[in-house]
Amino acid sequence: MATGPNYKVARRRRREGKTNYHKRYKMVRSKGIRAVVRKTNRYIIIQFVYPTPIGDYTLTSAHSIELVKLFGWKGGTKNTPAAYLTGLLAGLRAKKLGILRAIPDIGLHRPVKGSKVFAALKGIIDAGVEIPCSQDMFPSEERIRGKTIAEYAEQLANTSPEVFSRQFSAILRGGFDPRNMEKHFDEVKNKIIEIYSKIPESNEAIAIIKELIGG
């Protein structure tokens, strides 16, 4: 461990691997709304956040468990299709509040091409919110729709049923066959879009957000 008169202990959240203060400083200085994407071992969480001197304001958010509770999603809450759908849901909510662009904030997650955080950002962009991000970083359409999961499940079911049952135990317990992932993804995606196409924009909320960010 470093010692000496010039040694400075890192901030707690940096030591815990939660905050990159250099990146955060630049984002706060930009005064732009951030699309914050975080993933845990079980869920995908997305927030649209605006920084102020007294703290961050969360303007709207989406959690992958909402896919299950509100839209009947049965395909898991932490995989690539769930990340995309959570991003789509968050993006549609943001648009209803008049948020048309945001800065991507993936925190301390490594910017790995095709990862879940970029699937979530793709969902936000497809909802109509402008996010500066290279198209090359997004997962393929096959991965987003769950085709690779369905094909892998089919292969396991044919060659090793015991591994299939163990690998997809959580999904199977919910009464869903992962081999139907693509069709189910399309159904839930269309349901989210249909529902939010019928929800009017909140003029009052838009006015509040514009006042907050000085727009």
Tokens of 21: 């203060």
pTM of structure = 0.86
Are the C-beta atoms of residues 59 and 165 closer than 8 Å to each other?
no
* Crossing angle of helices 147-159 and 181-197, rounded to 10°: 150
pLDDT of residue 110: 86
Residue 99, pLDDT score: 94
For the chain, list residues with pLDDT below 50. 1
* pLDDT (0 to 100) of residue 5: 67
**Distance separating alpha carbons of residues 50 and 105, to the nearest angstrom:** 12
Tell me what pLDDT residue 108 has: 80
pLDDT of residue 14: 56
DSSP state of 56: E
The structural domains of the chain, ordered by start, are 18-197 (3.30.420.100)
Q: Hey, what are 179's tokens?
A: 């081999």
| Structural tokens at position 137 | 């970083």
- pLDDT score for 8: 65
Phi, psi (degrees; rounded to nearest 5) at 37? -115, 125
